[in-house]
Structure 1
Amino acid sequence: MRGVNSLTALFFSSMILPASLGSSQASRRDAQVVLSGTTDGVTGGQERYDGESVWRVKLGDHDRARREEVVQMFESLGGDIWHTTSDTIDVRLDSTSSQLLMDNQLHATTTIEPFIPDLQSLIDSINVDLESTSTSFKKKNNNRNKNKQDPFNLTTIDTPFHDTYHSVEDLYKFGDKLVETFDGKDGVVVTSFEIGETFEGKKLRGWSAKLQSNSSGSAMSTSGRTRTDRGGGGVTDGIEREFVVQSGQHGREWVGPSSAFYFLHSLILAATSDPSSEAALLLRSFTFTVVPLINPDGYTYSREHSRLWRKNRQQVGSKSCLGIDLNSNWGYKWRYPKAVSPCSESYPGKEAFEAYETKAMGYYLGNGTERGTKIRAFVDLHSYGQLFMFPFAHSCEDYPSDAEMLMEAGLGVAKAMRTKQGEGYEAGQACDLTYRAPGDAIDFAYGVTDIRWSYSAELRDTGTYGFMLPPSLIRPTADEITAGLMYLAKFIYVAEIAN
């Protein structure tokens, strides 16, 4: 590690880096756009990342205020920002750029270290696990009529479906099996719907579940005891309360869609197995909606061609680069940063809601009354970082009026997640905990559609695997976010319904 003078010396390196970092990574991105041909499961046709590594830049206290400048500097040089905290930045670089980073001067209080020194080796090791679990899943699916455990037997949470990653087709099949298995059972209503299409024509689909109200259900009180629920717990002025979970904005964040479906599956199972349970009460009080994969184009491209693909696959007027960063394209405090190239992983588009996916989901969030619902909660699942954050993301100078309540609920969620699996999660305001650009989903949900309980969750881990979370950690991750979402629903119930 090296450290002298000032972080501004990194900006001097922009005279050197674009010729190497910019050209080498831009050429690789060009290859991403034209990759074609047959693929073989998860790994076939995959772009390789030989010689690349992920570095953690640790800023000293003196440099925290300059986090945004450093992030923008790396982005302008073609670096792929993986994660930021108040005092660290994780960035993916090729071998030439990594050497230049080490050779250029950093502030004395700043250190840099490669915490994933060989990115391709990590991907290769995870792919071995993926191939093994994928093969096991296919065998069980093909042999499900021969007394083998059927991945699509949803009568148990122990289905092997929750132990590996899946194609868009299998994810959607799972959602349809939820409808087939549970709709009409013990008063449960499970429905599927479409909110639009992607640039490539894939369906954007969601699933909702609710439990029809009765006059004898038990309800939570602020003391944790139960009281009698006198009727339509989920209805206020003829409008159903809705709790929306969205995931998969970024193609490479595979654990989000898996966790979203695990949550809905677990909730329905718990409610149908015990009509007097808290799960049943919550399912009577809210319509729970999951949109598990808002970016199926990017997700498919990540699985079949380029593991670390982040954006959607929309044409943006560039001859060599595709895609919009969906989580920078929502219509609240959106602005166009002229310095960001269409090749950048964080390219926000030329205007808010230019992306097909954000436009469709934004309409869904903003027009609940057309469906007879009022959305009370919106949680956007991402990875990685183990964070649970409330608005605003675009600026810490813009503070939500409900900040105290949002923080109280968020701290409870973090505790519930830690209690479930032992993994620590941090709660707080998004702009403080991680660097976010304008146009964030939770800012739109809170600032435009008036969804009071709006949060963004960064799931596992804290950097050991980053986006390449092994399949053995899918279920524990999903289990802990399920505990967190259940806590949030109970908190809202006590705050808005029980009293």
Structure 2
Amino acid sequence: MLPQSTLCLAAVSLAVGQLVRALPSFVASSGDHQNRQDDQSVLSASAPELGFEGYQVWRMPINRKDVENVGKLLNLDIWAHHPSSVDVLVPPHLMSHPLLASYIPNSSHPAFIPDVQKLIAGSSSSAFSSSSFKPYPRPSNGSIPITHPFHDRFHTYDEIHSFLLDLQTAWPEWVDVFSIGQSAEGRDIYAAKISPRVVATHSTTDKDGSDDEEESLKKNRHKHKHGHKKERSKKEMILMGGSHGREWIAPASMLYFAHHLLLNSHAPGVKPLLKTLSFTIVPVLNVDGYEFTHTNSRLWRKTRQVVDEESGCFGIDLNRNWGYHWSSEDDQYPCSDDFPGKHAFQAPETKAMSDYVASKDVISFVDLHSYGQLLMYPFSYSCDDFPPDAEDLMEALLGAAKALRSVQGTAYKTGQVCELVYRAAGDSVDWTYGNQEIKWSASMELPDTGTYGFLLPPREIRPVAEETVAALVYLAHFVVQKEGKLKDI
């Protein structure tokens, strides 16, 4: 006889099937939430801050096929996928919905995060007003200590740009800050290249947008346009974050990593790397969506590009818009949180980033996200396509996970994206590995595993950043040693 738990799950699965087949009967009852989600998707840039009073995050025992059906029916925001469950943002008026109730064993309450708005207030650190942040004086050479309070809070787009320029001012022979292109709303997508004896191409004499600075940015954008041949120089390790606006910990960790490299540029563990590689760091790819999370809706995921004039919906999921096995069969509802766009590279952000990658001699590409504590290798679009370099990639990521765990004991899982998260086409590392043949392509989901989700409090920035540094430094060493390129002096 089957165990009672198995029979219970079977009954739940049968109930779900019946409920999903009866979609029309639920559409009316879910209409309020549909409108709420659509309202968020069509918010204008001047819209007031969107609150989440009464919202909870539930961890629900549901398989991936069922969650697709339920998510589309109720237009739910799926926060994270786990092997046997998903984390779902649930609005107050859907908490008694019969479709959701079918997933609650023995009528137990499934709330994993009981008060989302409270966490937003705790994570924001004056997120919706930067007036409390007082910029520090422009530094002299090498004068920004890693203990500087900049790393104790999350920052806006403008503050991130200012900090990159400050790093360039402090280490002018090591840092070049430039723009790889512009977003849908016209913001520059800034990058910082760290390599000894770089020739700065971005003016640091005026942080307020002088003519010289604007002219320099235009030159840099032209220099990195698509069609330029790969530059003959040191191989690059490219680190990219902020594809999804609400994942604040990724940009914060990348800024800390850049700062760490510069402060330790002559240390035994870093000096050989900087003599061998150029590190290009793009803290925020989705600059419009990221800024929107600081001004309007903290949980915004996509870009702010107008994608459907009829519905008035905004946004493309950048990690569904890369041109490797991009699929028009994925969710084509423009208001959904994971809308992949109408075609690959429709988003100017993915187009700019892919053009930059294609123009460089890239040895490794790492895409940082949150949350889940995962280190992953391609592919995302299908588990049937197993990369021939899987053994090497797994060895690299297991070592990175061990290095990370040595800092403060945080455990990361390692494996293929499609196994650890979900199968989705248009992923960044699928494109870098499958299209650009960048062997050492990896994706990293930073902490935590759901206690805070996307809403880590500022006190977690340094611990997460420190262990992320350990993982990335290990990975860089592993790659150049495997490729036989490490310079010891």
Residue 204 of structure 1 corresponds to: 189
* Distance of 1:176 and 1:167 partners within structure 2: 14
The residue correspondences of 1:249-288 to structure 2 (distance < 5 A) are 249-272=243-266, 274=267, 277-288=268-279
State the secondary structure of the residue aligned to 2:483.
helix
Say if 2:167 is the partner of 1:161. no
Say if 2:402 is the partner of 1:405. no
Q: CA deviation at 1:338?
A: 6.0
Letter aligned with residue 284 of structure 1: K
* Distance of 1:36 and 1:250 partners within structure 2: 17
State the secondary structure of the residue aligned to 2:313.
coil
State the secondary structure of the residue aligned to 1:341.
coil
State the secondary structure of the residue aligned to 2:195.
strand
* Distance of 2:95 and 2:255 partners within structure 1: 38
Say if 2:473 is the partner of 1:486. yes
Corresponding residue to 1:18 among 22, 27, 44: 27
Corresponding residue to 1:95 among 89, 92, 97: 92
Corresponding residue to 1:377 among 336, 356, 364: 364
Alignment TM-score, normalising by the size of structure 2? 0.84
Instruction: Confirm or deny: 8 A CA contact 1:333 1:438 kept in the other structure.
Output: yes
Point out where structure 2 has 5 or more consecutive residues left out of the alignment.
199-229
Alignment TM-score, normalising by the size of structure 1? 0.82
Instruction: Confirm or deny: 8 A CA contact 2:403 2:471 kept in the other structure.
Output: yes
Instruction: Report Cα offsets for 1:350-407 as digits up to 9, x if no partner.
Output: 1110011011111111221xxxxx1010000100001010000111111111000000
Residue 75 of structure 2 corresponds to: 78
Q: CA deviation at 1:202?
A: 0.3
Corresponding residue to 2:401 among 392, 414, 437: 414
Instruction: Confirm or deny: 8 A CA contact 1:386 1:457 kept in the other structure.
Output: yes
Q: CA deviation at 1:133?
A: 11
State the secondary structure of the residue aligned to 1:408.
helix
Residue 484 of structure 2 corresponds to: 497
Instruction: Confirm or deny: 8 A CA contact 1:178 1:190 kept in the other structure.
Output: yes
Q: CA deviation at 1:122?
A: 2.4
Residue 453 of structure 1 corresponds to: 440
Instruction: Confirm or deny: 8 A CA contact 1:416 1:484 kept in the other structure.
Output: yes
Count of aligned pairs between the two proteins: 445
State the secondary structure of the residue aligned to 2:398.
helix
Letter aligned with residue 289 of structure 1: T
Residue 178 of structure 1 corresponds to: 167
Instruction: Confirm or deny: 8 A CA contact 1:79 1:93 kept in the other structure.
Output: yes
Residue 246 of structure 1 corresponds to: 240
* Distance of 2:371 and 2:181 partners within structure 1: 27
Residue 225 of structure 1 corresponds to: none
Residue 46 of structure 1 corresponds to: 49
Residue 113 of structure 2 corresponds to: 116
Instruction: Confirm or deny: 8 A CA contact 2:34 2:74 kept in the other structure.
Output: no
Say if 2:336 is the partner of 1:344. yes
* Distance of 1:118 and 1:375 partners within structure 2: 43
Q: CA deviation at 1:73?
A: 3.3
Instruction: Confirm or deny: 8 A CA contact 2:127 2:155 kept in the other structure.
Output: no
Letter aligned with residue 29 of structure 2: S
* Distance of 1:490 and 1:110 partners within structure 2: 51
Q: Structure 2 vs 1, CA of residues 321 and 358 (structure 1 numbering), >3 Å: closer, same or farther?
A: same
Instruction: Confirm or deny: 8 A CA contact 1:332 1:448 kept in the other structure.
Output: yes
* Distance of 2:425 and 2:106 partners within structure 1: 29
Point out where structure 1 has 5 or more consecutive residues left out of the alignment.
39-44, 60-65, 214-235, 369-373
State the secondary structure of the residue aligned to 1:497.
coil
Indicate the percent of aligned positions where both proteins have the same amino acid.
40
* Distance of 1:296 and 1:498 partners within structure 2: 34
Bigger mean CA deviation after superposition, 455-464 or 331-340: 331-340
Instruction: Confirm or deny: 8 A CA contact 1:4 1:105 kept in the other structure.
Output: no
Letter aligned with residue 457 of structure 2: P
The residue correspondences of 1:309-320 to structure 2 (distance < 5 A) are 309-317=300-308, 318-320=310-312
Residue 208 of structure 2 corresponds to: none
Say if 2:6 is the partner of 1:9. no
Q: CA deviation at 1:244?
A: 0.3
